[in-house]
Amino acid sequence: MSRIVSLVIGVVLALLGLLWILQGLDLVGSGGMSGHAIWAVIGVIVAAVGVVLVIRTLRTPPVRDEL
């Protein structure tokens, strides 16, 4: 998987996790997920996976193809 794809997926997961945390804590009042604490827990897990993916992608040196 290329670095850009990994980085984009990580950022999307982190933002999606943040949204789920806010909905689970009933800070964003839209949809059926609002006010259900399980979504806050799932959001923390998804956001953590996204942040780890972003950090791992940024810390891994780019691969240079030899011809």
CA 18 to chain centre: 8
Structural Rg of the chain based on CA atoms: 15
pTM of the model: 0.83
Tallying the residues shown for the chain, one arrives at 67
**CA–CA distances in Å: residue 65 to residues 52, 62:** 26, 10
Token pair 């259900």 is found at 36
Question: Collapsing DSSP states into helix, strand and coil, what is residue 6?
Answer: helix
Query: Which stretches in the chain have pLDDT values below 70?
Result: 1, 65-67
